[in-house]
Amino acid sequence: MLTDLLQKIDDRTATIGIVGLGYVGLPLALRFAEVGYKIIGFDIDPEKVGQLMAGRSYIEHISPQSVARLLASGFEATTDYARATDADALILCVPTPLDKHREPDLSYVLNTTDALVHYLRPGQLLSLESTTYPGTTDEALLPRIQSRGLEVGEDFFLVYSPEREDPGNAKFTTQTIPKVCGGVTPNCLKVGVALYSSVIDRVVPVSSTRAAELTKLLENIHRAVNIGLVNEMKIVADKMDIDIYEVIRAAATKPFGFVPYYPGPGLGGHCIPIDPFYLTWKAREYGVNTRFIELAGEVNSAMPDFVIGKVVGALNDRRKSLNGSRVLVLGLAYKKNVDDMRESPSVVLMERMENLGATIAYSDPHIPVFPHLRDHRHFNLTSVELTPENIAGFDCVLIATDHDRFDYDLIKQHAQLIVDSRGRYLEPANHIVRS
């Protein structure tokens, strides 16, 4: 089995199944197709499947031309998990959110695995890419595969290889971002490394799936902790009437020992706001309290309230109340220049300000219509065009996500009040407030 699968990978005759066709799975499918593999894409959302098979993209940075090339390579998208039997390698790219108690929600991973397990066969590789706590592959996926009578490491192969996609980052692509991979057995690792080496420039093997799982958490907890530090420094600097962005720029001139991180209105995206809680939850099983990580989470979670406090204070200085004011939020996406709204602090800001009596609108060139979100209120809104008249009609403009496509000179010229949570405006002005 091992030799046959390695040969199929080497000569590109293997069929690759990508399960979950979102921000991780679809770019991965494109990359595998580029080097000549046949791809089957699986998703539980029939709308996504239909759009892809019609040649349309639902992710802004993936063009219709890219989807057309994917279809021309023989790509098929389906909701039928029975097609998993046709794949030689299955790669799981499904969400791993938190539940309402801020604990890991593995339902997508487990439900997907349970749906696939009936169609697994000897000679296949299964790779999990979803972010999760150490032990998930060994404790949750391995027993399910073994329940089919498959011997992992001999006639079936299981690896964990965390995704490292960074939507909107033009410097790095699926091909050029190094890929970490850990296997349940040495043979599993050999197959996983062979598969990913065929599409990724550098594959980094580690000793186990647990090491690979913890690697992913460390990467993002490192960012969460440092963002928490700079957010706390932002609050201190604000009290001292010091420009934190000036301080960061000055500190960043040190050529060693310092990496600049920047404050904001809160954490967003599918990793940084979520991953720390996967480790803190698992660490409790071992009697470890991850106080440092949890403290960073508390600081970051409090940032939307800090920003709203700045909005309230700025309006009060102009003898206005947030209650009854019209507030335009610039940017719905969790970071600039993308259309990804997962865990976006902008939505939290909108919800809380509306609860305080404000009339809320938004502008985002990447998100023309406010979408339905799983865990948030739905605003029946469309993106406001940034004309002089529209800008001037709001009591406050809040910069929540600093897309490059915004005309900041126009906004500065016509806004009554700007609260800038991203440090976009470097020069002080009477109607611009840093938050």
pLDDT tens for 279-298 read 999 999 999 999 999 999 99
Superfamily of domain 2-207: NAD(P)-binding Rossmann-like Domain (3.40.50.720)
Confidence grade of residue 316 (pLDDT, cut at 50, 70, 90): very high
Give the whole-angstrom CA distance, residue 248 versus residue 250: 5
**Overall average pLDDT of the 49-53 stretch:** 97
- pLDDT at position 273 is 81
**Predicted TM-score of the model (pTM):** 0.92
Share of the chain above pLDDT 90, in %: 89
Domain 210-301, CATH class in plain words:
mainly alpha
Residue 134 vs residues 72, 104, 131, 434: alpha-carbon distances, Å: 39, 12, 10, 40
Could you give the residue numbers annotated as active site?
271
- pLDDT at position 427 is 82
Domain 304-434, CATH class in plain words:
alpha beta
- pLDDT at position 368 is 96
Residue 136 vs residues 49, 158, 165, 389: alpha-carbon distances, Å: 28, 12, 21, 54
42 burial level (CB within 10 Å; 0-12, 13-18, 19+):
buried
Question: Which pLDDT tens digit goes with each residue over 133-188?
Answer: 999 999 999 999 999 999 999 999 999 999 998 877 888 999 999 999 999 999 99
- pLDDT at position 434 is 83
- pLDDT at position 269 is 76
**Overall average pLDDT of the 77-83 stretch:** 97
CATH 3.40.50.720 region(s) of the chain?
2-207, 304-434
Confidence grade of residue 378 (pLDDT, cut at 50, 70, 90): confident
CATH 1.10.1040.10 region(s) of the chain?
210-301
